[in-house]
Chains A and B, each alone.
Chain A
Amino acid sequence: NAGVTQTPKFRILKIGQSMTLQCTQDMNHNYMYWYRQDPGMGLKLIYYSVGAGITDKGEVPNGYNVSRSTTEDFPLRLELAAPSQTSVYFCASRFVGNTEAFFGQGTRLTVV
């Protein structure tokens, strides 16, 4: 059972480039989340989804977009990369009625 899988693990982007961070889960979880983790700042919620076709903004959505066309996948899109988006990104999922969220191993993104 793979759990929550994130790709890529590492990426360097140039300012203004675009990319998609992939997240997939094989646990049939309804809820999926994207967080960013900055040193000394904890995890900040970017976007979340309560099911296929339904997404909503979190605390820090600016500069990001998401889609949820299937239960399994929740990609995060960066359209015009900026240095402020240098961070470690975590995807998480949980099943409705269960309070525990399961996290992927993270994507370390550097924008130069």
Chain B
Amino acid sequence: QQQVKQSPQSLIVQKGGISIINCAYENTAFDYFPWYQQFPGKGPALLIAIRPDVSEKKEGRFTISFNKSAKQFSLHIMDSQPGDSATYFCAASGNFNKFYFGSGTKLNVKP
């Protein structure tokens, strides 16, 4: 059973556009929601994370929107650049011992 459901599986965006990736979870015990970025041949790296006590967190061009009542959170990449082309994973954790990852979204930003 997938603890965290992620969509879309792939995304093509023009340079300068907005990329939006969505995730949903069921376990209300989750209280930490990170996003990881992975380039081909590399391991995932933490991009940005949020706790459920806030509805939005912004770091540069990357924003997480969090809807606790709907049990959904999303990653928005503003002014998308070709260098943002990568696979993005959302994740969730309830006690930091275990992290549950979404299935990943492959983002391609066209020049």
Contacts and interface: CB of A to CB of B under 8 A. Distances in A.
Interface of A: 4, 31, 33, 35, 40-45, 48, 50, 56, 58-59, 90, 92, 94, 99-106
Interface residues of B, number: 23
Interface of B: 4, 6, 9, 32, 34, 41-46, 49, 89, 93, 96-104
B97 A101 contact: no
Contact of A90 (B4, B44, B103): B44
Best-buried of B9, B44, B100 by chain A (most CB within 10 Å)? B44
A42 B41 contact: no
21 contacts: A4-B43, A42-B4, A42-B89, A42-B101, A42-B103, A43-B44, A43-B89, A43-B101, A45-B98, A48-B97, A59-B100, A90-B44, A92-B43, A94-B96, A99-B32, A99-B49, A100-B34, A100-B49, A101-B99, A103-B43, A105-B42
Contacts of B93: 99
Given A58-B98, A105-B41, A105-B43, 16 more contacts: A4-B43, A33-B99, A40-B104, A42-B4, A42-B101, A43-B89, A44-B101, A45-B98, A45-B99, A48-B97, A99-B49, A99-B93, A100-B46, A100-B49, A103-B43, A104-B43
